[in-house]
Each structure stands twice: as C-alpha cells, then as structure tokens.
Amino acid sequence: MKPKTNKTLIITYYWPPAGGPGVQRWLKFVKYLPDFGVQPIVYIPENPTYPLLDENLVQEVSDKVTILKQPIFEPYGFASFLSKNKTKKISSGIIPNKKKQSFIERTLLWIRGNMFIPDARIFWVKPSIKFLQKYIEEHKIETIITTGPPHSVHLIGLGLKKQNNIQWIADFRDPWTTIGYHKALKLSDKSAKKHKDLEKEVMNSCDQLIVTSPTTKTEFEQITSKPIEVITNGYDIEKVEKKSMDSKFTLAHIGSFLSERNPRILWKVLSELVKENKDFANDFQLKLIGAVSKEVLETINEFRLEKYVNHLGYVSHSEALQEQRSSQVLLLIEIDSEATNCIIPGKLFEYMVSERPILAIGPENADFKNIIKETNTGVFFTYDEKEALKSQIETYYKQFKQNTLQVNAIGLQKYSRKKLTEQLATLLTEH
C-alpha cells in the first residue's frame, strides 16, 4: 500500500481557460483528489491554441493543485494561412460533410491525418519528456496519468514509462482509432498503420487504462490484457444563478452540433408539427448553444424551420448551465453509427441534474441509452423511430401547456464528480 498522501502527476492538454467538454473531467477530478489523500500536480502547455475559451473556468481551479507549464509548438499557425476559420473548426472537431468539403478543407484534413501522427500536438512530446523526467526524479513522483485526446499526450507517458519505474495510468476520454472522425482524416495506409501501432504500444505499456464507457472497454480488451476501469464523466454540484423558465416550448441543444450528428428525422418531425398544429408553431423554439456546422443549419433551412431557431453561439459553462435549466426539453444527439455506441456525451450528466427531460436520438446500442433509462431522466429513440419520436414531442408539448412538464430522476449520486473521483483515488492507492 502507498502512504496515505501520494503525489500524482497528471499530464493534460486541455485546462482552463480552455472551454468545451474536454477540460471538465480533469478539472473536477483535481478538485476532489485531495479529499482522498492524493496530491495532484498538473502539467499543461504554456501557450496552447485552444479552439474554445472560457475564462470563468480559471476560477474553478483548485488552490491545492501544483501547476507545471512548458511551451508547446503547434503547427496551426502555418495551416491558418490557408483559412483561419476552417483551421479553427477542424481543430475543434467540426469536420465538414465529405461531399461538401472544399479543396482547402480536404488539404487541412490530409495534413492533420498524415503529417502529424497522432495529432498536431506531437511536437510537445519530446520537450515534455525531458522536462518531466527531471521533475519526477527531483520530487520522487510514483504515479503519472495521461489523458487524451489529444493522444500525443499518451506518448509523453510512454516516454516517461520507458525511463522510470513508475505507475502509468492512461485515461481515454475518447477512443483513438475507432472514433468517428478518425476515418475522415484521409489517412494513407502507412499513416493508418502508424496510428494503430502507437495505440497498441500505449495500451500495452501502461499499467492501467481508464475509459469512459463500457463499449470502449470491450473494444480495448481486444487490443490489450492490461486492466481497464470504466469511470464515466459526471456532474458537479454547482451554484447556478436562477433564470426563469423559457416562455416558449424550447428544445435546446447545448454543445457542438457536428455535421454527422445531423438528425433529419428530428427536423422532419418538427416541420410536420409546426404545419399541423398552429399552437405548436406559435410556442415552439429551437435553441442552439455552441458551434453548429453549416450542414446542420442548411438542413434546418431545408425543412423551413429557420424562423424558429435561436442560435446563441458559444457561451461560458456557467451560462450553458443556466440555459439548460431554463429550457423545456434538452436534445442529446449522437451519430447513427456502431462506432459511436461508446460515446457518452459529457453534457448528458449535466442534463441529468438540470431537472429537465432529455430527448435523445442515437444508435440502437448506445451506452448512454442505458444511463438515461436507469436514471429516468428522459426518452431515447433510434433514427428509424419517427412516429414514436413525434408522439413523444407531442406529449412533452401537452405537458408544457398544462404546466406539468418535469422529470423525476433516480439514482444520480453514483455519477457525481466526487463519487467518481473516489473511484479514481481507489485505483491510485491500490497499485
């Protein structure tokens, strides 16, 4: 057994003031780890190129954490001379529909996939290993954690593991080669093999893997025999300034709305409802918060729903929580693909404690379907359940009109950030 308090070095690219879901997981783990006898030391880039910024999150960083920083060279500056806007979108995960990609977009994707393996943060690996090797020796660090994406962060762990008798835990917030956008990177056979080889080496060199979903665990068990623990994302107890409920019947989507997530089934249902029911048409609003792909907006226009759209763009995390809790119904959309069964969107857990019903659409065997069902926080539909989806929206609308639209969640406690950190701390102290 380790002593009661142990130092753990956490290597991550995303950290406040980065915005978006990637930063939340370790920001919250670090907040609660000291409660379980773990002293967190966080290593981050000094000058990162974050596609989204949320300065408010800086205030949430624990005062019990030690922060280490080293400069990073990122090639996005060179790519942005082609198109700053397109570069920013691709770096934030918004990949245009394959049929509608411009020459610049195709070029950027090819560069991203083949010249920077596993990703554009690869140039941070060698200097980080050199810097952290010295720090580990001087401060007698026994455990390191790497969290990806970007998966180049795991290569820092790999390098340090080769030089030290150290416990290394690799946390995969998303899969590596089976993630949906991986196929869009226009990889050559040689590049695809290199990704696979690196993925296998990381998984078989670390001492422990952490994943965020049961499906990812099953996938990874085909690659490695190393122990794999499922620790999902979760919700934190946060003070959210009260905002009055929307007077409109708002269906709200919070977060990036990617091209591949474009739910034509939903737009068709909504277009039918506004045509068939004048009251619904008068009351309905589609609230979009966050980056929305051009293809999604074009499809909304195709179904003549544009006049019902309230697109707020990117807002701070605290504002997003306010908007969640003031919306009538929350939309959770995932790509209709077997490859996305493992994706449990981080916003699901914040949705679950918002006390608003979730309307979810995704692949039949999606892991998040089970969570919604077990917590009684909403309803899930596949992409071929059009009539059932329409009926559910009509039911929610009737409840809205009767002022009875609510949700009675059960069993949420195990998804609290503190409970999940306890699970992580147990892993750290058992090794």
Domain boundaries, the chain: 6-75+116-234+416-430, 249-401
**Cα–Cα dist 340/349, whole Å:** 18
- Residue identified by tokens 């045509």 is 275
Write out the CATH class of domain 249-401: alpha beta
pLDDT band at 92 (very low <50, low <70, confident <90, very high): very low
Write out the CATH class of domain 6-75+116-234+416-430: alpha beta
Residues sharing a CB contact under 8 Å with residue 258, sequence separation 6 or more, in sequence order: 93, 94, 95, 293, 296, 335
Percent of the chain with pLDDT strictly greater than 70 = 88
Q: What is the mean pLDDT of the chain?
A: 89
Q: Average pLDDT in the 115-136 region? A: 94
Residues sharing a CB contact under 8 Å with residue 254, sequence separation 6 or more, in sequence order: 289, 290, 320, 323, 324, 330, 347, 351
Q: Average pLDDT in the 6-18 region? A: 96
pLDDT band at 339 (very low <50, low <70, confident <90, very high): confident
For residue 83, the model assigns a pLDDT of: 41
CB 233 within 8 A of CB 344: yes
Tokens of 211: 């994943």
CB 396 within 8 A of CB 357: yes
Domains 6-75+116-234+416-430 and 249-401 equal at CATH topology level: yes
Give 70: exposed, middle or buried? Use CB within 10 Å, 0-12, 13-18, 19+: middle
pLDDT in tens, 22-49: 899 999 999 999 999 999 999 999 999 8
Residues sharing a CB contact under 8 Å with residue 190, sequence separation 6 or more, in sequence order: none
pLDDT in tens, 280-326: 999 999 999 998 999 999 999 999 999 999 999 988 888 999 999 99
pLDDT in tens, 212-256: 999 999 999 999 999 999 999 999 987 777 889 999 999 999 988
pLDDT above 70 for 90 = no
Q: Average pLDDT in the 385-390 region? A: 98
